[in-house]
Structure 1
């Protein structure tokens, strides 16, 4: 969601520099915490700077120029960060030899995670620093970090110039009929032992890049031109690296030892961190991060242009950006993150085209061009909404209300000004509940899928609409002080049957609400294991830049943390989201799950008696559902494809593989459409044309509930019937 920032700079989450981050509220007090919860960090933040004009750097000496070195100010900030991490971070961790070793590994991974630049000899030379960085960090000695980075610059120049020369004269080295393969992921491989070994790795990389572009329909001259431009751009961007960029990367290798949401923001990133209070931004509404040489979508802003278009998904990789309907698609592989963002942003109602490798693509050969109309993302667009499902069961008609909550929003400015009608989640949901009550619903589904969080107070008060007065969440500091946050309202606005629908992208405030409903036995939780973001960060000003540091942790009223493990549903739905890539437990150094004493609360009910029967009925229904079976088939196919560790470098084999992937994807899509009574696509081209047209539509009919919303309603009716049977047979 759009991350809302407390005036004291305390919040739960780790916003990317691309995230809209207004300030709100009053000073923080542990006893009456007003926090803002959001989804997750985008990894080490990159420095913001305007794209530079082409420098024409090709000469090695000109490229390397003066070696980068730390400033006195950076040495001071390093000491300050070390003190704050050691004494203020939630995780009590002394800066010692073990931390030093982790910082060393983190930094090498940050600089060269795929082992494509450094040689084994470089790493052996650097090993002298492995157990010495602790003292250096505490005293502000940054020379090791800059020495390692300057070596990277040398190796990067050598690699890119090798690739360019290979493109100039590749006839004798790039045989596309030769039976050989390339590793998909080199992270766990050994460092190349020699320049010859590194050359072989890069020969295959260039060959693979040529193959991937040919499979998109590009001709030989166009391929050579595209790759030459890509590599030259990478050289130019590397030549523009500043001391500030090196320092930020190194500091984030350091902060990453503590947890993935603690980050250092350089002065330029800090400037972009403070966006105004209007909760609006002209763009597509997506949070991006760098993933090796690609720009990857982290998440979509609820109700933003990309979210409304419905085509761009988390974990999609952007490989090219074009303007308007027919502007040139500019290859952005290897670009700096801020330069890609600069291309994607633009004026309201203008069109941007993104060429992406879909998250569910079996390989990087599969790309798709999406059109998105830029617009302004505003608080009003993220409001909770309702619908009514009509479900027939055994000759009886049921009405199930559904309330979708995209984010836990609040107009803090209106609240501060004392506006009694200020807009916030709880007020809107209260109104929707009253309207649904007029429809005489038999039960209610609260849909929190893709809700990345928001204002903690809204999670507390929203829970209060469904439970009697009582605790909703607990917050613990690193020194074991615990604050219990209560719903002060004794009134229950809705006391009927309730199901909460979540998925892997439900985080923070969503997890607090779902956990409380589950702990009280107030309703069933169905869907997928949630994200697991159960920590709180604050932003502290430094002499130069800012430090976002984790200070608190959330716990359920039953005592278990929402951190790391998230909320486990009572009934699980399948998901194509790869939990190994998305989720708190997929992030390095994530704080672990643990438990504290339960708060003093009274359960409303328990569903233990009914769950086995509800699960059986759900499974029986899904076995007969063709759309559900198509989803399972899709998940199985993607898992099988992603398990492949190597890609063929034979053109004919790659063409056959891509055709197989497209045939399978089309089969799954058509199976889903058949199950919904929709026309099928004759071929993959027809499907691609449809996807592009759908992205541009502004008149979409969103009234039709999706499969899992409907199934949530079915489960709710199962529960109603099961409770009725138990009540009928219970002695009076």
Structure 2
């Protein structure tokens, strides 16, 4: 999830505190540390910044130590398939000592654990190679617990080997099923292509035997594991140390992170004008990687099958054998997925409904500009409306264009008004945040003037950010769309519109729930080593609050009208993150809300939703997913595994009609864009694709109906 990052030049007051306090830093870093011990210097700087500038610095005590200890073990061995209980027991002496080691700038526990991990990697490689050398017996009635939190560490080498045996059986069994489905699909494709011809069956068309598929599955599993272990063994000590440091920093809050030099460069690259790859934001989720945002206009977005919430389990380069990414670090998965323009990557994904799908994407160069604000005209039998889609509250201080969300939305709004629209939809779904000042300015387009958001600082001081421009660009009907991935700045916008009673917020039950502000600080500004780069730290510096005094932290913004979605009953967002700062509230600030009575409109919409067959089906899907979320035991018996898989496949078919949904709305680009289409076919293709997606959007019709009801109210 993107952070609400206000860069250093915009947070000079906070940074002055750090810089002034840094005068005393050298008294804590002796000459030996300056010259020989980069680890100690790095720890010194990180803790120095956090203790002087973090919104709520954590106390370095035994409780903190125990949390670091527990989480670091999870990071080293998330599935409890490397270490024995006896080895973990030997580390128990460190459980309440890590705070002391940090204070002393020592790395004893890290060094001990890192040494043992290297040894365990070699031992584990021997175990899985031995197991995969022989065929599996899938007639046994065995099961595998996939939730590692329900498992203890293995007590003996035999138990550890048995754990690997079961895990590898599950991997091979799933691979066999995938290969069978692929064969079936290929056979059906051949029949379709030859339906008007006499099909001559060749020997190569004969399905492979079970023994052949099982052998291929073991070989591919072995290759994937070997590739994975080769990568892990190449990790430098510095890379593992960064993992340890981030385990420490994440105990302050989930948005406080250390960016090692390489990560810092990637972050800077992500802020550049364009990238090559598939166009998706990723995050680590348990053993695999989750799609958190499909970037509008990117290759994955154009391909159309990759969705937010998809879990990537394998990655293949073109026609090569897919690589299992279980346990891989996020940056290494990104390296596998990224690539040069024109090359092909195949992602084996697990959908939210549990189905497995291989998605083929041609990598391309995609412009960040395509993630800027864009608008469309919506025509119905009752009127003409405008919608502005804003993927983030961007701001660019570095280029001559000086682009930002406020000025771009203002331009789109002016163009829509010129077309005679009668209502406006602001689509903030999947908007992960951005510039704080930009969202303040943008709310000002819809109200005369007044407070927009309250910001609390570490010392308890409160600042109210206001719109001081008395002009109003749009005073007509307004609907704001959000979902569970709308975070930070998008939550500020939705909350302000809601608190002012200026418009109606529709979408997921609540938004993401991130009510904090982060700052990025270059650690090299604290020391003067000629040839060393210590990277950067991103840390939480402020909390923001609604003008009614409530916080969006954890709770998010609750929609006035809730649309059923697949995540309706699943806990997600900030409240699902460890060490998230708590919800609280402060005094409301003085503001004057509009006096519109939205109650009849909300009631009418809720009644329509109750009677909508597609929404009913979506809610059934959500309930089914909620029931399945605790199913963590899978059968390793071939017949039972395939039976369960068939049951899930049949159940998924009940919800497939949602994929075929089409609304009756008409979407069209604004005249100035249409003029560009003749010379910019890529832009036309992007807009056509966007409009196709909107026609398939199950939520658009009800959103427009709410807008039409508002039009009647505000006449």
TM superposition score normalised by structure 1:
0.80
Q: Residue 354 of structure 1 aligns to a residue in which SS?
A: strand
Secondary structure of the residue aligned to 1:215 is helix
Question: Equivalent of 2:159, from 197, 205, 209?
Answer: 197
Secondary structure of the 2:542 match is: strand
Deviation at 1:579, TM superposition (A): 7.1
Of residues 592, 596, 606 in structure 1, which corresponds to 2:586? 596
Judged with a 3 Å threshold, the aligned counterparts in structure 2 of structure 1 residues 313 and 482 are, in CA distance, closer, same or farther, namely: same
Kindly provide the CA deviation profile for residues 143-191 of structure 1, in whole angstroms up to 9, marking residues without a partner as x.
Answer: 1122123223333433332222111134xxx431222211121223322
> Would you say how many aligned residue pairs link Structure 1 and Structure 2?
632
Match for residue 46 of structure 1?
none
The separation in 2 between residues aligned to 1:264 and 1:719, in whole angstroms, is 47
Matched residue, 1:574:
564
From 645, 651, 659, the equivalent of 2:646 is 659
Which of 619, 624, 628 aligns to 2:606? It is 619
359, 369, 372: which is aligned to 1:370? Answer: 359
Give 1:591 deviation, angstroms.
Answer: 0.7
Q: Does 1:380 align with 2:369?
A: yes
**How far off its partner does 1:76 sit?**
2.2
Match in the other structure for 1:488: 468
Structure 1's 251 and 276: CA in aligned 2 closer, same or farther, altered over 3 A? closer
Equivalent position to 2:89, from 114, 124, 127 = 124
Q: Offset at 1:502? A: 0.3
Q: 1:274-300 CA distances to partner (integer Å, 9 max, x unpaired)? A: 228642111112222344443332333
2:626 counterpart of 1:639: yes
Q: Does 1:712 align with 2:674?
A: no
Partner of 1:521: 501
1:658, 1:113 → 2: CA distance?
26
2:425 corresponds to: 445
Q: Deviations over 1:103-138 (max 9, x none)?
A: 111211211233222222222221111111111111
Is the CA contact 1:617–1:718 (under 8 Å) kept in the aligned structure 2?
A: no
Q: What is the DSSP-based 3-state SS (H/G/I as helix, E as strand, rest coil) of the residue aligned with 1:454?
A: coil
TM-fit CA distance, 1:625: 2.3
> Is 2:384 the partner of 1:399?
yes
**Preserved contact between residue 515 and residue 567 of structure 1 (Cα < 8 Å):** yes
Note the C-alpha offset of 1:720.
Answer: 4.6
The 2-side partners of 1:458 and 1:277 are apart by 17
Counterpart position of 1:214 = 176
1:188 counterpart (140, 150, 154) = 150
Which runs of structure 2 are paired with 1:1-12 in the superposition (5 Å)?
8=8
Assess if the C-alpha contact under 8 Å between 1:263 and 1:549 holds in 2: yes
1:289 aligns with: 283
Once the two structures are superposed, residues 410-465 of structure 1 have per-residue CA deviations (whole angstroms, 9 ceiling, x without a partner) of 34335xx5x6xx54322332233333334443322211111111222221111000
Shift of 1:71: 7.1
Corresponding residue of 1:309: 303
Paired with 1:580 and 1:634, the residues of 2 have a C-alpha distance of 12
Q: Which residue of 1 aligns with 2:520?
A: 539
Whether the 8 Å contact between 1:282 and 1:345 is mirrored in structure 2 is yes
Note if contact 1:293-1:335 (Cα within 8 Å) is conserved in structure 2. Answer: yes
For residue 95 of structure 1, what is the aligned residue in structure 2?
60
In structure 2, distance between residues paired with 1:718 and 1:387: 20
Query: Residues 158-307 of structure 1: matches in 2 within 5 Å?
Result: 158-170=123-135, 174-217=136-179, 219-275=213-269, 278-307=272-301
Specify whether residues 673 and 651 from structure 1 end up closer, same or farther in structure 2 by C-alpha distance, changes over 3 A only. Answer: same
TM-score by length of 2: 0.82
- Counterpart selection for 2:12 from 28, 50, 55: 28
Q: Post-superposition shift, 1:606?
A: 5.1
- Larger mean CA deviation between 130-139 and 383-392 belongs to 383-392
> What is the aligned counterpart of 2:409 among 421, 426, 429?
429
CA contact (8 A) 2:278 2:337 kept: yes
Match of 1:511 among 491, 494, 498: 491
Q: Do the aligned partners of 1:303 and 1:406 also contact (CA within 8 Å) in 2?
A: no
In 2: Cα distance, 1:239 partner to 1:437 partner: 59
CA distance in 2 between partners of 1:104 and 1:251 (Å): 12
Aligned equivalents of 1:638, 1:147: Cα separation in 2: 42
Q: Which secondary structure does the structure 2 equivalent of 1:154 belong to?
A: helix
**Are 2:350 and 1:357 equivalent residues in the alignment?**
yes
In structure 2, relative to structure 1, the CA distance for the partners of 1:304 and 1:111 (3 Å cut) is same
The structural deviation recorded for 1:467 is 0.6
Structure 1 residues 295, 160: closer, same or farther in 2, change over 3 A? farther
Aligned-pair distance for 1:268? 2.6
State the alpha-carbon separation in 2 of the partners of residues 588 and 367 from structure 1.
29
Q: Structure 1 residues 27, 614: CA separation in 2 closer, same or farther (over 3 Å shift)?
A: closer
Indicate if the aligned counterparts of 1:177 and 1:651 stay in contact, CA closer than 8 A.
Answer: yes
1:463-502 → structure 2 map (5 Å cutoff): 463-502=443-482
Distance (Å, rounded) in 2 between the aligned partners of 1:233 and 1:248: 22
Distance 1:435 1:674 in 2: 30
Aligned to 1:15: none
CA distance in 1: counterparts of 2:80 and 2:320, whole angstroms = 36
CA positional deviation for 1:336: 4.3
The answer to which of 644-653 and 148-157 deviates more is: 148-157
Kept in 2: contact 1:452–1:505 (CA 8 A): yes
SS in 2 for 1:169: coil
Indicate if the aligned counterparts of 1:389 and 1:399 stay in contact, CA closer than 8 A: yes
- More displaced, 569-578 or 457-466? 569-578
Distance 1:386 1:515 in 2: 22
> Aligned residue for 1:65?
none
Which residue of the other structure, out of 534, 549, 558, is the alignment partner of 2:539?
A: 549
Q: 2:601 and 2:499 mapped to 1: Cα distance?
A: 19
Deviation string 1:226-257 (CA, Å, 9 cap, x unpaired) is: 11112222332332232112211111111111
The 8 Å contact of residues 112 and 118 in structure 1, kept in 2 or not, is answered as yes
Cα 1:433/1:85, change in 2 over 3 Å: closer
Pick aligned residue for 1:455 from 408, 412, 435: 435
SS at match of 1:79: helix
Q: Runs of 4 or more off by more than 6 Å in structure 1? A: 1-5
How far 1:593 moved relative to its partner?
Answer: 1.2
Per-residue deviation, residues 63-97 of structure 1 (Å, max 9, x unmatched):
xxxxxxx9721022123323333332111322111
- What's 2:337 paired with? 344
Deviates most, 229-238 or 271-280: 271-280
Determine if contact 1:627/1:672 at 8 Å carries over to the other structure: no
1:133-152 map, 5 Å: 133-152=98-117
1:410–1:303: structure 2 CA closer, same or farther, 3 Å change rule?
farther
Say which is worse superposed, 342-351 or 198-207, in terms of deviation: 342-351
Structure 2: give runs of 5+ residues left out of the alignment: 16-34, 181-212, 528-533, 665-684
Secondary structure of 1:281's partner? strand
C-alpha separation in 1, matches of 2:365 and 2:576: 32
Match of 1:84? 49
What residue is the counterpart of 1:64 in the other structure? Answer: none
Higher mean C-alpha displacement, 181-190 vs 398-407: 398-407
